[in-house]
Amino acid sequence: MGERVFTNCTAATMVEGGDPYGLIEGAAIAVADSQVAWVGPARDLPQDFAAWPTHDLDGALVTPALIDCHTHIVFGGDRAREFEMRLGGASYEEIARAGGGIVSTVRATRSASDEELLQSALRRVDDLLEDGVAVIEVKSGYGLTIADEMRMLRVARTIERHRPVRIRTTWLAAHALPPEFADRPDAYIDEVAITGLTAAHSEGLVDAVDGFCEGIGFTPTQIRRLFEHARSLGLPAKLHAEQLSDLKGAVLAAEFGALSADHLEYLDPPDVPRLADAGTVAVLLPGAFYALRETKLPPIAALREHGVPIALATDCNPGSSPISSLRLSMNMACTLFQLTPEEALAGVTSNAAAALGLQGEYGTIADGMRADLAVWHTAHPSMLAYWIGGNLLHGRIIAGEFSER
Ligand code: NIG
Ligand code: FE
């Protein structure tokens, strides 16, 4: 079923080792059963595929479908008022300590119905789809009761039934301390973050476990207890680490062999080899850096030097990163962090897949990988990071089926 050869295209395979971007001009891509069966120069197409129906892509650029590997896309309300407060001089931390911040989105999320949460999330998902995204990671973390955290993840999973997108769900109950647990963070970790994880996992709702390791979040000791429980359930870890200060969250993440450590502006360069040794992906979130007007840059040179894979994501959330364009995040990563356009594209394809443990299925165009591809109006992949806004997407190939955008 669904056998086809896409012809007359340039393929940025993102397979390492050859040309930049793994670029193949005059490419053919054979797909069957939702997977790539062959990719290479059209002149080398094996005889086996010659009889398959062809689809001429008219010279378009084809990349792996993009992956947004860190979002908080399911939430109630917005925080436009806090944007105004920050412009007036208040810091993100001050607003959080005064009862705003994440906890204000918790109030709005708890009082929203499932349908309201879904519909508002779908609008943001549609924005991401316009950028050729086909995989989105979604975190809980705005419910902060067992029931509301599980509800967020159920709503997140529902997105797959409404849009052509793969959703990965992450348990982020250790995001902030809700008012009913004021001054009792350890009790919250035990009674909600850990107990709820068991419940959510037994309902099949959890692909990974995350926490906010920060002065306004949880201590490394508290996160360690959560990660130990995650490990006993066989669940991988991710961590919001070193976003506002250096609590050695990345070192903790590496110790647990985490899939990723995310944010990392305050990561100390001597700690970078720990990430490299653990195979932990550094997920950079330039939207949050930009929106919080952060000035401390993540240690990019050390990450490169030690070969830590760098991924990029929107961090789409109502507080620190109100952005639903992954291409704009790529542009910001180049402009603000001086990533190359090639690093930016790897950051939302191959390395983003690794940050989700999906590198065997997504993120490169190669035999046996999912035939989820993005088809662009542009001639060269550097355009994807360079051009700000606009609609560069021509179409999507999802499970081997082409549709025009
Ligand atoms: O990734 N840092 C913690 N979590 C989010 C912010 C969430 C919020 O402000 O609502 C982040 O930046
Ligand atoms: Fe985040």
Q: Return left, alpha or beta for 277; rule: phi > 0 is left, psi -120 to 50 is alpha, else beta.
A: alpha
Q: From ligand 1's centre to the CA of 240, what distance in Å?
A: 9
The answer to whether the CB of 243 is under 6 A from ligand 1 is yes
Q: From ligand 1's centre to the CA of 81, what distance in Å?
A: 16
Residue 51: domain span: 4-64+364-404
In this structure, the answer to whether residues 386 and 295 fall within a common structural domain is: no
In this structure, the answer to whether residues 57 and 70 fall within a common structural domain is: no
What is the distance in angstroms between the CA of the first residue and the CA of the last residue of the chain?
Answer: 23
- In angstroms, rounded to a whole number, what is the distance separating the alpha carbons of residues 42 and 371? 17
In this prediction the pTM is 0.98
- In angstroms, rounded to a whole number, what is the distance separating the alpha carbons of residues 286 and 314? 8
Taking alpha carbons only, the member of 169, 213, 207, 208 closest to residue 189 is 213
The answer to whether the CB of 140 is under 6 A from ligand 1 is no
| pLDDT value, residue 363 | 98
Strands 310-312 and 373-376: unpaired
In this structure, the answer to whether residues 233 and 314 fall within a common structural domain is: yes
In this structure, the answer to whether residues 88 and 213 fall within a common structural domain is: yes
* Average pLDDT along the chain, 405 residues, taken 10 residues at a time: 92 93 98 97 96 97 98 97 95 92 97 98 98 98 98 98 98 97 98 98 98 97 98 98 98 98 98 98 98 97 98 98 98 98 98 98 98 96 96 97 95
In this structure, the answer to whether residues 396 and 266 fall within a common structural domain is: no
In this structure, the answer to whether residues 279 and 219 fall within a common structural domain is: yes
In this structure, the answer to whether residues 175 and 199 fall within a common structural domain is: yes
The CATH number of the domain where 49 resides is what?
Answer: 2.30.40.10
- In angstroms, rounded to a whole number, what is the distance separating the alpha carbons of residues 31 and 49? 10
In this structure, the answer to whether residues 223 and 262 fall within a common structural domain is: yes
In this structure, the answer to whether residues 219 and 339 fall within a common structural domain is: yes
State the amino acid at position 254 in one-letter form. A
Estimate the crossing angle of helix 195-202 against helix 146-162, to 10 degrees: 30
Residue to mutate, 73, 97, 102, ligand 1, most ligand atoms under 8 Å from C-beta: 102
For 162-223, the DSSP string reads HSS-EEEEEEEEET---GGGTT-HHHHIIIIIIHHHHHHHHTT--SEEEEEESTTSB-HHHH
In this structure, the answer to whether residues 83 and 216 fall within a common structural domain is: yes
**For ligand 1, what atom is nearest to the CA of residue 212?**
3
Q: From ligand 2's centre to the CA of 374, what distance in Å?
A: 25
Residue after which a domain boundary falls, among 315, 331, 355? 355
Q: From ligand 2's centre to the CA of 198, what distance in Å?
A: 22
Specify the residue with its C-alpha closest to ligand 1, atom 11.
Answer: 320
In this structure, the answer to whether residues 169 and 25 fall within a common structural domain is: no
Neighbouring CB atoms inside 10 A of 257's CB total 14
In this structure, the answer to whether residues 215 and 229 fall within a common structural domain is: yes
Specify the residue with its C-alpha closest to ligand 1, atom 5.
Answer: 320
Q: From ligand 1's centre to the CA of 232, what distance in Å?
A: 27
- The tally of domains found in the chain comes to 2
The answer to whether the CB of 158 is under 6 A from ligand 1 is no
401 burial type by CB count under 10 A (0-12 exposed, 13-18 middle, 19+ buried): middle
Q: From ligand 1's centre to the CA of 317, what distance in Å?
A: 7
| pLDDT value, residue 1 | 53
CB contact at 8 A, 356 and 327? no
State the amino acid at position 53 in one-letter form. P
The CATH number of the domain where 229 resides is what?
Answer: 3.20.20.140
The answer to whether the CB of 319 is under 6 A from ligand 1 is yes
- In angstroms, rounded to a whole number, what is the distance separating the alpha carbons of residues 179 and 188? 11
